[in-house]
Amino acid sequence: MAATTDLGPIQTNATSNPPPNKQIFILSGQSNMAGRGGVLKKLHRWDGVVPPEAQPHPSIFRLSAKLHWEVAHEPLHADIDSKKTCGVGPGMAFANGVRERVGTVALVPCAVGGTAIREWARGEKLYEDMVKRARHSVKDGGEIRAILWFQGESDTSTEHDADAYQGNMEAFVANVRRDLALPSLPIIQVALASGIKYIEKVREAQLGMRVENVVCVDAKGLELKEDNLHLTTQAQVILGQMLADAYLTHFAPPLKSKPST
């Protein structure tokens, strides 16, 4: 599939190796991270509309399900959350928002729709797959800069799950940092925009976490699709830009000042 950018046409389905100094970001969580923007529910297909902020760029790559690097394009999670129809998520807007500052951006999609936090516990398939993909991403160089995490809607249906969310999330952060040998790995999580009965309990846990190098951006108020669960395409773009701002503000290396003349 070819796409056109301001740099001309680029091939978005071709295997291509990013440079060894790539900056790696793990995208994880459930459906709103995997992307449902533009998915037509009744037709079970994506409308194919890619906003300007989410367009491919030669300096943005993704790790495929088969562990091959390729130029990134929407839908980022099509071969990861493969049992569902994927559309626009926040990942490409995030990448376009940070690439001028950080250089080559390498995205590692790992999100799967409908998954609860307990399914991301150490030893569970989703967690182990994420760690495997993250480890593979640095085999040829590069640094894992952050995990972008958007999950929790599946934990809002019972009081028990909502009450357990903060402890489960803190365990997730500790485990992934240990297993990747990155004790200070930044985590940027998204506070829920939607949920069921106990959404406010989960949001309170997300917004109230006091763990070093964990920051939260709040998706509440962003436009939802008619299902009142998934973000619209434009809302996903806004969220991606919010995530980019959070990374650049809290974690990106400082800009080098130009020498005075």
**How much of the chain is in helix, strand and coil states, percent to nearest 5?**
35, 20, 45
25 neighbors 146 (Cβ within 8 angstroms): yes
Long-range contacts of 254-261 (CB under 8 A, 24+ apart): 255/101
Residue 237: closest CA among 50, 112, 63: 50
Question: Can you tell me which residue has the tokens 């390729």?
Answer: 70
Per the document, the length of the chain is 261
Would you please indicate which residues are annotated as catalytic (active-site) residues? 31, 227, 230
Q: Which of 122, 140, 125, 249 is nearest to 180 (CA)?
A: 122
- 224, with CB counted inside 10 A (0-12, 13-18, 19+), is middle
Whether the bond between 259 and the residue before it is cis, its omega within 30 degrees of 0, is no
- DSSP code of residue 112: -
At 133, is the secondary structure helix, strand, or coil? helix
Phi, psi of 73 (to 5 degrees): -160, 160
